[in-house]
Chain A
Amino acid sequence: AQSVSQHNHHVILSEAASLELGCNYSYGGTVNLFWYVQYPGQHLQLLLKYFSGDPLVKGIKGFEAEFIKSKFSFNLRKPSVQWSDTAEYFCAVNSFNSGGSNYKLTFGKGTLLTVNP
């Protein structure tokens, strides 16, 4: 069964600091990869996704993530965080099986990011 690991439970940064949140998954086949974000009091929403092609994907609000297949990783980055980036970030994986059921998302436990002004 596939699994997703997010290494940091809680990250605290000051504004303008650089951010990198780790995500590793375990699955040997084809995967789609996602980062979702939940801002305080808001819905879980899609931040960015990787399906194929350029392994460096850009999302909303200046976020980007790099898919490194050899490391089974999909780390999220932002060069300069803002106070408004305070949120919980979830990495998720969608895998393809032979039966064609490609809808299931497996989530990591999430990383709470606190950005201090």
Chain B
Amino acid sequence: SAVISQKPSRDICQRGTSLTIQCQVDSQVTMMFWYRQQPGQSLTLIATANQGSEATYESGFVIDKFPISRPNLTFSTLTVSNMSPEDSSIYLCSVGPGMGTQYFGPGTRLLVL
């Protein structure tokens, strides 16, 4: 399995600002994903980070709000833009060897005031 790290591990941000979350993997992977886990809710897929092309967003998530970069096969960033308190959540990066199996990072706990 891959070892995944995320930065920052947690942050408290002001409304209207943006936060960029980094995800680093210890090996090259094809599939990288970003999830959100809101309090008391399940994990929801935000987008698939594609290396060398634009991310593929799930219904309800847009690039202007959650821009994603994937410059290489071991790294990705997710930006939460123009934040509001509703964006308070845990953001998780995961990688997949395929067939649905995924390995998850430790998550970034975000609180927006």
Contacts and interface: CB of A to CB of B under 8 A. Distances in A.
B42 A110 contact: yes
Interface in A54-110: 90, 92, 94, 102-105, 107-110
Contact of A44 (B48, B99, B104): B104
Given A44-B92, A94-B99, A102-B99, A109 B42 contact: yes
A110 B105 CA distance: 18
Nearest to B99: A32
Nearest to B41: A109
Taking chain A's interface residues, is the majority helix, strand, or loop, or is none over half, making it mixed? strand
Interface residues of A, number: 22
Task: State the main secondary structure of chain B at its contact with A.
Answer: strand
Nearest to A94: B100
30 contacts: A32-B99, A32-B100, A34-B100, A43-B106, A43-B107, A44-B43, A44-B107, A45-B103, A45-B104, A46-B102, A51-B99, A90-B42, A92-B100, A94-B99, A102-B99, A102-B100, A103-B31, A103-B33, A103-B48, A103-B98, A103-B100, A105-B45, A105-B100, A105-B102, A107-B42, A107-B43, A107-B44, A108-B42, A109-B40, A110-B42
